[in-house]
């Protein structure tokens, strides 16, 4: 079969199956891509040819960082392809590109920002030849052992080796991510935070305590969060590289966002050359400049995401002032984050239905850096799945030891289980209150003097949302 015919058939099949799935309200993201790949194994190369592509990978912040970059490119009037549906494996990425192409398989858009699963990077990048690859950070997932984060690191490294021309944007503060610069010829640009963040005493490093090159325990000049910070190995000299895109001061962090000072300059890539197998830096910039930057999302890790977005944006050859100005109004990328006001009280609702999503929401809360009240709602109806034991796999310890979490309500069919879980996670019993229904909860929340965060599972979210809608008599406060 002639190539062009194969490509056309693949594009047609992908688009048709995607529409069919949508009509049936089946959000399937893999079938259309798999179908297209089966008809034409080179479909992804064809439909992405000539495009300028930024790929974002890493444990946390992929979606937010991609959204930040994509948002800035669109604001500046560029036509951007993105895989916002969370389809970040090869079939999903293939479906995104293929369904956006013309009938003959030519790309309709010139730019793409693609979030990619760490393990799928090696399959995706040789087909789409990204201009820039961002690695946000590497953390151990809840149930993984340390060996698995090392495995993930190697998977990413395999992907990078397949595209030696791609510019890497790496987190300078993460000793794991930073090691991706070793032994590859790719140009690298670094981002990071130059200053300590939060409590500096008794920081528990669970993910990367020991030097990735020689096994000696790292020393830190300062910590930002988890194993991130100013790390250095006292034995072999492996250490944080001074980044070109750096946060020098955190002026204000609140539930609506952060105001920071940033420095833009040249990477300290000399250190990389010292490490024997380093290579050239991205073309050196001129003198250093400093400026204030507002990031319209709360928490320290969104400061990292913002810095990553700026680094990627300028590495891809765009004017960084575009992304800086759009960061102020970038919206949350949580699938179902909804915000509204109950009288004077700001309330944010984040749907949680499994340990991974729940952990993301809990990290968000623990990174807020200001007082808040939390509400955990748990039902066990058919749409929720009757088994609620997953709450024991979610890391509620992250917030239960946090002095910023002021008062906690539990609600729902399984409120008692939730209460028990929080107690085991270290919450003080007197700080956990069981609310008797939505109406009582809403009355109590109105009295709050701090922002409120509600983490419901599916059916409890529906009922609470309905109760709130009835009270306020309007729907427009929901932000999808």
- Interaction site with Zn ion (CB under 5 A): 211, 213-214, 216, 233, 235-236, 238
Q: In whole angstroms, what is the distance from residue 54 CA to residue 130 CA? A: 6
Q: Which residue has the tokens 């983490």?
A: 455
Minimum CB distance to Zn ion smaller for 211 or for 442:
211
Minimum CB distance to Zn ion smaller for 74 or for 275:
275
Q: In whole angstroms, what is the distance from residue 67 CA to residue 64 CA? A: 5
> For residue 277, which phi and psi values (nearest 5 degrees)?
-110, 20
Minimum CB distance to Zn ion smaller for 231 or for 334:
231
Helices 90-100 and 121-128 cross at an angle (nearest 10°) of: 30
Minimum CB distance to Zn ion smaller for 268 or for 469:
268
Minimum CB distance to Zn ion smaller for 221 or for 428:
221
Shortest separation between residue 83's beta carbon and Zn ion, angstroms: 37
Q: In whole angstroms, what is the distance from residue 225 CA to residue 281 CA? A: 27
Minimum CB distance to Zn ion smaller for 38 or for 235:
235
Shortest separation between residue 238's beta carbon and Zn ion, angstroms: 5
Find the helix or strand (DSSP H, E) in which 307 lies: helix 300-315
Shortest separation between residue 280's beta carbon and Zn ion, angstroms: 24
Within 13 Å, how many C-alpha atoms sit on residue 209's CB side? Answer: 6
For 3-6, which contacts have Cβ atoms below 8 Å and span 24 or more sequence positions? 3/40, 3/42, 4/104, 4/105, 6/39, 6/40
Q: In whole angstroms, what is the distance from residue 173 CA to residue 272 CA? A: 14
Shortest separation between residue 208's beta carbon and Zn ion, angstroms: 12
Minimum CB distance to Zn ion smaller for 140 or for 239:
239
Question: Closest by alpha carbon to 280, among 188, 208, 217?
Answer: 188
254: its two tokens: 């609140």
Minimum CB distance to Zn ion smaller for 233 or for 442:
233
Q: In whole angstroms, what is the distance from residue 310 CA to residue 130 CA? A: 17
474: its two tokens: 């309007």
Shortest separation between residue 234's beta carbon and Zn ion, angstroms: 8
Shortest separation between residue 214's beta carbon and Zn ion, angstroms: 3
Minimum CB distance to Zn ion smaller for 235 or for 252:
235
Shortest separation between residue 209's beta carbon and Zn ion, angstroms: 12
Give the three-state DSSP class for 134. Answer: strand
Shortest separation between residue 212's beta carbon and Zn ion, angstroms: 8
45: its two tokens: 């190369």
Minimum CB distance to Zn ion smaller for 233 or for 342:
233
- Taking a C-beta distance cutoff of 8 angstroms, is the pair 191, 308 a contact? yes
Minimum CB distance to Zn ion smaller for 8 or for 150:
150
Shortest separation between residue 183's beta carbon and Zn ion, angstroms: 15
The Cα diameter of the chain in Å comes to 72
Shortest separation between residue 236's beta carbon and Zn ion, angstroms: 3
- Taking a C-beta distance cutoff of 8 angstroms, is the pair 436, 461 a contact? no
Shortest separation between residue 274's beta carbon and Zn ion, angstroms: 13
Question: Closest by alpha carbon to 210, among 231, 196, 195?
Answer: 231
Question: Closest by alpha carbon to 220, among 170, 173, 274?
Answer: 173
Give helix then strand counts, H and E, for the chain. Answer: 16, 17
Query: In whole angstroms, how large is the CA radius of gyration of the chain?
Result: 23
């Amino acid at each position: 079969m002639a190539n062009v015919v194969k490509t056309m058939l693949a594009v047609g099949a992908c688009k048709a199956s995607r529409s069919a799935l949508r009509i049936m309200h089946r959000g399937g993201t893999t079938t259309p891509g798999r179908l297209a790949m089966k008809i034409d194994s080179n479909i992804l190369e064809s439909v992405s040819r000539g495009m300028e592509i930024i790929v974002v990978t890493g444990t946390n912040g992929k979606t937010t960082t991609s959204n930040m970059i994509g948002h800035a490119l669109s604001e500046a009037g560029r036509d951007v392809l993105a895989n916002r549906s969370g389809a970040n494996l090869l079939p999903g990425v293939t479906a995104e590109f293929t369904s956006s192409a013309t009938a003959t398989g030519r790309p309709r858009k010139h730019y793409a920002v693609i979030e990619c699963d760490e393990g799928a990077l090696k399959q995706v990048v040789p087909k789409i030849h990204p201009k820039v690859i961002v690695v946000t950070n590497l953390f151990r997932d809840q149930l993984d052992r340390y060996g698995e984060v090392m495995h993930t690191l190697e998977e990413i490294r395999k992907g990078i080796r397949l595209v030696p021309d791609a510019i890497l944007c790496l987190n300078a503060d993460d000793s794991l991510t930073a090691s991706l610069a070793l032994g590859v010829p790719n140009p690298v640009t670094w981002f990071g935070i130059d200053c300590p963040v939060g409590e500096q005493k008794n920081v528990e490093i669970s993910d990367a305590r020991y030097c990735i090159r020689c096994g000696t325990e790292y020393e830190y000049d300062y910590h930002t969060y988890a194993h991130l910070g100013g790390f250095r190995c006292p034995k072999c000299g492996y250490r944080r590289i001074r980044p070109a895109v750096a946060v020098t001061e955190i002026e204000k962090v609140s539930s609506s966002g952060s105001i920071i000072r940033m420095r833009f300059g040249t990477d300290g890539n000399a250190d990389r050359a010292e490490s024997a197998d380093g290579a050239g830096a991205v073309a050196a910039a001129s003198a250093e400049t400093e400026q204030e930057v507002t990031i319209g999302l709360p928490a320290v890790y969104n400061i990292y995401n913002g810095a990553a977005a700026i680094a990627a944006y300028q590495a891809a050859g765009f004017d960084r002032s575009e992304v800086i100005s759009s960061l102020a109004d970038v919206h949350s990328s949580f699938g179902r984050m909804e915000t509204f006001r109950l009288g004077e009280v700001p309330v944010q609702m984040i749907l949680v239905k499994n340990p991974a999503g729940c952990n993301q929401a809990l990290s968000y809360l623990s990174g807020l850096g200001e007082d808040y009240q939390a509400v955990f709602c748990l039902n066990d109806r058919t749409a929720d799945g009757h088994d609620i034991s997953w709450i024991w796999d979610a890391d509620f310890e992250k917030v239960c030891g946090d002095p910023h979490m002021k008062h906690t309500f539990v609600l729902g069919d399984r409120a008692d289980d939730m209460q028990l879980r929080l107690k085991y996670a270290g919450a003080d019993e007197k700080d956990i209150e069981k609310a008797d229904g939505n109406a009582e909860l809403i009355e109590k929340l109105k009295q709050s003097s701090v922002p409120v965060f509600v983490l419901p599972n599916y059916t409890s979210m529906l009922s609470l949302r309905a109760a709130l809608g009835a009270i306020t008599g309007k729907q427009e406060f929901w932000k999808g």
